[in-house]
Every structure is written in structure tokens, then in C-alpha cells.
């Protein structure tokens, strides 16, 4: 099992903490957000860890890690950052946003998943937005689930039918070896041929990871929700950082 952490972003909303370092290196209880993730991964015997950097890549220098850099991080987005490390998509892998912290059991949930394409989701997501005035729940990356399959993944899903449920995508994806092949094939096709708007993004180069996942859904592939109940926090604003301290410090 491998892990790829996407850490190219600038983290403008976390200023002044990110004035000189990327968001992933902001400290929480004496450890950077990256160190929280790496410790959780290694506690589950995942030691093949890759970090894709971008903004202030010189400040990320953790030991025993493979590094790739997205040199175009200012002009591209999360999806392009992932494919800077496409050589690592040759076996089962966990893909993670770099601005989240979570319990070890979230890794165990993904390790136990035997499907090809899975995303970790939280059904009780709205309560985590109470008091987060700088980051309202309308900005959440949601999934719409029907018959235990994700049918839509994007920001601010607010309507569902009686046989559908809305959850929040945590920024964690689990792919089998076959799932990696599916993803790589679709990326190669699109990078050669796609023009214009791409799902919620103005172009394929500026696509979020969720845009790519939606493309797989629209292409007929099943993406399964992995339901997580436990402690996790996204850290996007100083307010989020204070909230995370209450959970993890």
C-alpha cells in the first residue's frame, strides 16, 4: 500500500500562518499537518509515502519521503498535482488532501476496502460546520449517494430525493491497482483531447480532484462511499485551526 499527499497549494485563507510556508506545514500541537498524516499512515504500516509539493516546496523536507513538485501549481489545481506523481499510481494507493487531520482508524477503514474506487465520507458533516463562520457548509465538497454508490461529487450539493443521501467528501480516496489503471487511462485520454470547461472547472488543467472523480462516474465507473464516524478536521482558516486544537491537542 502506498500513499500520495497533495500539498501544492498556497493556503491563502490561513494567512498569516501561510505567509512563508505552505498550509501543510502549519503547526497543530507542535506537529505540522503533514506530520500528523505521516504518523497516522506509518502507524498502519504504510511507509511508501509521496508528497507532491508546489508553493514553498523548499520548506517541506521531511525524511524518508518521495517528493514530486507541481511546477505549475499557480496555473493548475489538485488534479494536475496528483498526476505529477502518476508513476506512483502502479498499485493500491491512498490519496489525501494535505490540509486534513484524522484518527488512525480512518486509515484502517480504507485498508479494509476491497473495491476499485472508494472515497471517504462523513454523514454527520453539518454539525462540524457549527461556529465555522469563516468556512460555511455551502463550501463543503459533498457527495450524493444512491444505492451505496456516489452519483455526484462537487461543492454545495443541497438537494436530494428520498432514496438519496448527502455526505461530505473528506479529501481521502482509496484506489486498488485496477482503480489506478482506470484513473490513469482516463487522464491520458482527457489530457490529449479535452477542450473547454471540465465539470466545475474552467478547464481540464484547472480541475479539482472531485472533477476527475465525477468524470469517472459519468463514464460508468462505480465509486463507493466509505462511511467514517470519528474525529477528523479540515483546516482551511485560522478558525479551523483553533477548532482542530480542541479535537487533537
pLDDT digits (tens, 9 = 90+) for 87-142: 999 999 999 999 999 999 999 999 999 999 999 999 999 999 998 999 888 999 99
Which distant-in-sequence residues (6+ apart) come within 8 Å of 136 by Cβ? 129
Distance, CA of 107 to chain centre: 13
For 21, the enclosing helix (H) or strand (E) is none
Q: CATH number for the 2-248 domain, one of 3.20.20.220, 3.90.550.10, 3.40.50.720, 1.10.3470.10?
A: 3.90.550.10
Residue with cell 518521495: 66
Task: State residue 7's pLDDT score.
Answer: 98
Domain spans, the chain: 2-248
Cβ burial of 35 (10 Å; 0-12, 13-18, 19+) is middle
pLDDT at 10 over 90: no
Asked if residue 151 has pLDDT above 90, the reply is: yes
pLDDT band, residue 173 (cuts 50/70/90): very high
C-alpha cell at 90: 502502479
Q: What is the mean pLDDT of the chain?
A: 96
Measured CA to CA, the distance from residue 156 to residue 165 in angstroms comes to 13
Judged against a pLDDT cut of 90, whether residue 218 lies above it is answered with yes
Specify the pLDDT at position 220: 98
In the chain, what percentage of residues exceed pLDDT 70?
100
Average pLDDT over residues 45-74: 97
Q: What is the pLDDT of residue 48?
A: 98
Q: Is 193 exposed, middle or buried (0-12, 13-18, 19+ CB in 10 A)?
A: exposed
**Closest residue by Cα to residue 79 from 140, 163, 4, 20:** 4
How confident is the model over 202-209, as a mean pLDDT? 97
d(CA 153, CA 223): 10
pLDDT value at position 247?
Answer: 92
pTM of the full structure: 0.97
Amino acid at each position: 500500500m502506498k500513499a500520495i499527499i497533495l500539498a501544492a497549494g498556497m493556503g491563502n485563507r490561513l494567512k498569516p500562518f501561510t505567509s512563508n510556508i505552505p498550509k501543510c506545514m502549519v503547526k497543530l500541537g507542535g506537529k505540522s499537518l503533514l506530520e500528523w498524516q505521516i504518523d497516522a499512515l506509518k502507524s498502519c504500516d504504510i511507509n511508501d509515502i509521496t508528497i507532491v509539493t508546489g508553493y514553498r516546496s523548499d520548506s517541506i523536507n521531511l525524511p524518508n519521503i518521495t517528493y514530486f513538485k507541481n511546477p505549475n501549481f499557480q496555473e493548475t489545481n489538485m488534479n494536475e498535482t496528483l498526476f505529477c506523481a502518476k508513476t506512483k499510481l502502479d498499485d493500491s494507493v491512498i490519496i489525501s488532501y494535505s490540509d486534513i487531520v484524522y484518527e488512525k482508524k480512518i486509515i484502517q477503514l480504507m485498508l479494509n476496502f476491497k473495491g476499485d474506487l472508494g472515497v471517504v465520507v462523513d454523514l454527520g458533516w453539518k454539525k462540524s460546520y457549527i461556529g465555522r463562520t469563516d468556512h460555511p457548509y455551502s463550501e463543503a465538497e459533498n457527495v450524493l449517494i444512491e444505492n451505496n454508490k456516489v452519483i455526484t461529487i462537487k461543492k454545495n450539493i443541497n438537494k436530494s430525493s428520498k432514496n438519496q443521501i448527502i455526505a461530505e467528501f473528506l479529501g481521502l480516496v482509496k484506489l486498488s491497482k485496477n482503480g489506478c489503471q482506470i484513473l490513469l487511462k482516463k487522464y491520458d485520454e482527457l489530457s490529449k483531447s479535452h477542450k473547454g470547461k471540465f465539470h466545475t472547472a474552467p478547464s481540464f488543467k484547472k480541475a479539482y480532484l472531485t472533477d476527475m472523480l465525477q468524470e469517472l462516474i459519468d463514464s460508468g465507473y462505480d465509486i463507493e462511499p466509505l462511511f467514517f464516524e470519528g474525529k477528523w478536521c479540515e483546516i482551511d482558516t485560522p478558525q479551523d485551526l483553533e477548532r482542530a486544537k480542541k479535537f487533537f491537542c
